[in-house]
Structure 1
Amino acid sequence: MAIDRTVLVSPDAMGQIDKAAADSGIDSFGLMRSAGAHVAAVVLARFPQAQRAVVLCGPGNNGGDGHVAAKLLERSGMEVQRFGMEPKPGGDAARARALFPGDICPFADWRPRAGDVIVDALFGAGLDRPVSGDVEALIERAGRAKTPVVAVDLPSGLSGRTGEPTGACFRALHTVTFAALKPGHLLMPGRELCGEMHLCDIGIPARLIASDDTVWRNHRGLYAAHMPGSAASQHKYTRGHLVVFSGPLISSGAARLSAMAGLRCGAGLVTVAAQPSAVMVQATHLTAIMQRAIRDVAELTDWLGDSRLSGFVIGPGFGDLEKARAYTSLLAEAGQPVVLDADGLTAFAGKTEELAELFAGETRLVLTPHEGEFRRLFADLADDVTLSKIDRARAAARAQNAVVVYKGADSVIAAPDGRAAVNADAPASLATAGSGDVLAGIIGGLLARGMPVFEAACAGVAMHGEAARRAGRGLTAEDLPAHIPAL
């Protein structure tokens, strides 16, 4: 059966899925045997020259998977030695252990040797606290010896809920998981600690692999149906008019990046609303993008009477925080979607309640903070170590009635209604000055074209990553707009 590689399931929800499978009549031990077989297959395929499989078995079902894998690896001709704990009596893990009798040695007895590969079947996603001292010592020995690790479900010591280590943690080269991905597989640093992911179908029906926790890996299915189309009858105004606000002369480049990105993703018109001092320098750089000099609140108020203006980006290189707040207040009254980025976010540090009041009602605000900006806006959430990045983004989205794009290598897009998506495939080359300005422009352009807010944010983040892949290594932010994929 096809396995859904987009849904993310919390460890608690996965436990309920396992229980539902057993309650529906599916042989739970059969699932364990299938899981162990997948683990053994990855070990044999990826480490054909390994001389000894060091299988670490915990007391629960993760350890049971390890016992099954150990037996299959021994049958394949590999030397196998198990370390760890006896399983809890009466369950599937005890049954797997009984089918492969033999010694289970204490952790302290393992001495690394050339040709070892570790199968970490200790705890998987079931542990959300630090590992014990003897396991920590083993993890340290494995790290010093550079012994390769294949983790079962999750590297032991890594939270499947937050993607954060709870203490000492294995760094796996491969992680074999079953039925569905967990948030910890995608959230940083968990994604790096998992190594190459292997999501395996062990026979749990797709109808059971569901969760009331509406969180996904960002994928085209979240937004494709809402992407703006093309028709012969269209003209520039029906394709939306995006406005990007420019800062002073010295920092006007950020607005140009946003504006060009908005134009490249299909907005019919894009205007840079510049302070008068920046108009001349903008004119030397812009051709297809229009300009308008906006001196103050009064001039902006007059312009906002034009009903053809359909989306706004404010913040990139803007500089004047007081003016940013005043302009944002007017944009909120105009009733069109707004992307608040960079200085636009910083302008509301300590004033998030004011921002939430401005955008009460229908959701039409997108916030795009990186880690530092998120902390300036939501210090209480950023400091709460019990929360995952998904939890933080969702809480901020609810509080602000906004879609929050919490940027990073594991960007999280969260809506006030609880929907969330984790983007996990953007290349590292996006870590360059100005790339966030481009992202704000892409999202702004999609909003100006009429996309719903959450879907526009998900699509924008995906298109941003695709542009970076097309641009290749060594890209600069100026390269990105030309590589934005066509709708």
Structure 2
Amino acid sequence: MKSHLKHMLLTPSEMAKADAATVDSGIALADLVERAGQAVAASALRHFPQALRYVVLCGPGNNGKDGYVAARALAQAGASVAVYEMNEGQIGKDLLRAEEDAISRAPLAGYQPRQGDVVIDALFGAGLTRDVPDLVAELVNKIGEAALPLLAVDLPSGLCGRRGVPLGAAFKATRTVTFMNRKPGHLLLPGRSLCGDIEIVDIGIPARIIRSITEGWAENHPDLWGHLLPVPDENGHKYRRGHLAVFSGPAGRTGAARLSALAGLKRGAGLVTVASPADAMSVNAASLTAIMLHQIDTAQVLQSWLDSAKLAAFVLGPGFGIGEKARQFSLLLKVRPLVLDADGITSFRENPSELFSAFSGGDPHLVLTPHEGEFSRLFPDLAGNTELSKLEKAVRAAERAHAAIVYKGADTVIAAPDGRAYINTNAPPWLATAGSGDVLAGMIGALLAQGVPAFEAAAASVYLHGEAAKAAGRGMTAEDLAAHAGVELDG
């Protein structure tokens, strides 16, 4: 359980609840502030020992209090420290205490960056909900232009801790020290690119309080689902590892299905069959060996196949074509585990509720894998809502569709109908290549075929997809990625 806890994310409002519950439990807020400020000072000394001066920007709230404690600790260590504060008052004096005379204090507007400064940003942290004041926006520009190292306390000021977007303007940190758990804004883009290296510090909030507050949102990691991955055993049989069917498009559009099929085979499905229309049979037959081939042209033929074959899971969409045939085939699979990708998703853009209604029964067994454009076709109201984070959009979409959602992008979010959601962070930049989504669909299909629940199959496959890309290396093609789809987890 403890290993799970370190991956969990807390929204700013949840963090505020955790602070309040901690105080109610008998732990003083002053103790939390002291531990946080001391940790910031230690990080500053450890990672920025070259500083000629530590400049601490202190805001009016608890984030500012952390900054005052950090300034005191730095002065106690013999460093040169200057505090620039938004609201000069008794709080700063109390927290600086005997070291006040060794610390220069001035209004925030008076700060002028100079070479040798290391800036400690303790203005707002994660709780900000409105655009930063003009004074802070000007400081963001000044410090950015001076290219000074910046250590952010909790979150770079101006960055929304819930959505990961700048509120008017936001600092770009070299390093961020946050407390207990990260916020969604640390991992969602563009927030992730503004935080630099993230250090998580335990300031003494009891784990039971964190567990009682979290919504089940986390950074995607094997600790969360690794125990559900199939492990081959000596009594294994291909049918026990599931039969995956991948639907091919017409002649001239068959490559995507074959990529999915190869990835499914590599990811451990016992058998994989490409279900092909008649006009694509010859081109598919010429390119398949270990993967089987079966001709499927109509919904009637598909139904007959479903009635007679031991088929465990399906992938429909890569290169399939948009239209009535995709809708018919998808709806025939409404009681089967299905990965609906690409053209399969777009085929329901005129009537998404038809799809959602069909898969509304039983445990979730539909996985939707939309990129930004496809997400907006199925969920236009959610896509256009700028007040929601990408994570919140994915969670609401999963609940509406009764499906696991893989909302793709550089900050892919995987969400379940029950409200759980993971943000993926391990994908290398070269994963953004043509055909990589087809490979991901096949990997998810393989885990579904082996009996892994839909949400965990999706989350595991997204993570393993990133690991496969690392194994394939820079300059990889989708074919290289598919060849590495069976990558094993370290340890």
Q: Note if contact 2:411-2:423 (Cα within 8 Å) is conserved in structure 1.
A: yes
Aligned to 2:94: 95
Q: Report the identity percentage.
A: 54
> What SS does the aligned partner of 1:250 have?
coil
Aligned to 2:420: 419
Which sits farther off after the overlay, 190-199 or 15-24? 15-24
Q: Note if contact 1:64-1:97 (Cα within 8 Å) is conserved in structure 2.
A: no
Q: Distance in 2 between matches of 1:265 and 1:88?
A: 61
What pairs with 1:22-421 in structure 2 (closer than 5 Å)?
22-86=23-87, 95-98=94-97, 100-101=99-100, 103-210=104-211, 211-332=213-334, 335-362=335-362, 363-421=364-422
Q: Distance in 1 between matches of 2:407 and 2:96?
A: 44
Q: Note if contact 1:86-1:104 (Cα within 8 Å) is conserved in structure 2.
A: no
**AA of the residue aligned to 2:361:** G
Kindly provide the CA deviation profile for residues 119-142 of structure 1, in whole angstroms up to 9, marking residues without a partner as x.
000000111111101111111111
Q: How far 1:398 sits from its partner (Å)?
A: 0.9
Which sits farther off after the overlay, 384-393 or 273-282? 273-282
Q: Note if contact 1:58-1:87 (Cα within 8 Å) is conserved in structure 2.
A: no
Structure 2, unpaired ranges of 5+: none
> What SS does the aligned partner of 2:7 have?
coil
**AA of the residue aligned to 1:399:** R
Q: Distance in 1 between matches of 2:104 and 2:147?
A: 25
**320 and 293 in structure 1: CA distance in 2 versus 1, 3 angstrom threshold:** farther
Q: Distance in 2 between matches of 1:314 and 1:411?
A: 20
Q: Note if contact 1:220-1:459 (Cα within 8 Å) is conserved in structure 2.
A: yes
Which sits farther off after the overlay, 156-165 or 317-326? 317-326
Q: Distance in 1 between matches of 2:395 and 2:240?
A: 33
Q: Note if contact 1:157-1:168 (Cα within 8 Å) is conserved in structure 2.
A: yes
Q: Note if contact 1:265-1:442 (Cα within 8 Å) is conserved in structure 2.
A: yes
**AA of the residue aligned to 2:355:** L
> What SS does the aligned partner of 2:230 have?
coil
Structure 1, unpaired ranges of 5+: none
Q: Distance in 2 between matches of 1:170 and 1:427?
A: 24
Kindly provide the CA deviation profile for residues 295-339 of structure 1, in whole angstroms up to 9, marking residues without a partner as x.
22222121111241110000001124221111111111xx21000
Q: What CA RMSD, in Å, does the superposition of the two structures yield over aligned residues?
A: 1.8
Q: How far 1:87 sits from its partner (Å)?
A: 6.5
Aligned to 1:10: 11
**AA of the residue aligned to 2:360:** A
**AA of the residue aligned to 1:259:** A
Q: How far 1:474 sits from its partner (Å)?
A: 1.6
Aligned to 2:466: 465
Task: State how many pairs are aligned.
Answer: 483
Q: Distance in 1 between matches of 2:88 and 2:178?
A: 20
**199 and 371 in structure 1: CA distance in 2 versus 1, 3 angstrom threshold:** same
Q: Distance in 1 between matches of 2:458 and 2:286?
A: 31
Q: Note if contact 2:87-2:107 (Cα within 8 Å) is conserved in structure 1.
A: no
Q: Distance in 1 between matches of 2:234 and 2:202?
A: 45
Q: Note if contact 1:222-1:458 (Cα within 8 Å) is conserved in structure 2.
A: no
Q: How far 1:212 sits from its partner (Å)?
A: 4.1
TM-score (norm 1): 0.95
Q: Distance in 1 between matches of 2:462 and 2:151?
A: 31
Q: Distance in 2 between matches of 1:53 and 1:481?
A: 49
Kindly provide the CA deviation profile for residues 228-260 of structure 1, in whole angstroms up to 9, marking residues without a partner as x.
233333221121000001112222111111001
Q: Distance in 1 between matches of 2:166 and 2:298?
A: 49
Q: How far 1:48 sits from its partner (Å)?
A: 1.5
Q: How far 1:88 sits from its partner (Å)?
A: 7.2
Q: Distance in 2 between matches of 1:31 and 1:316?
A: 52
Q: Note if contact 2:390-2:413 (Cα within 8 Å) is conserved in structure 1.
A: yes
Q: How far 1:373 sits from its partner (Å)?
A: 0.9
Q: Note if contact 2:68-2:96 (Cα within 8 Å) is conserved in structure 1.
A: yes
**AA of the residue aligned to 2:426:** D
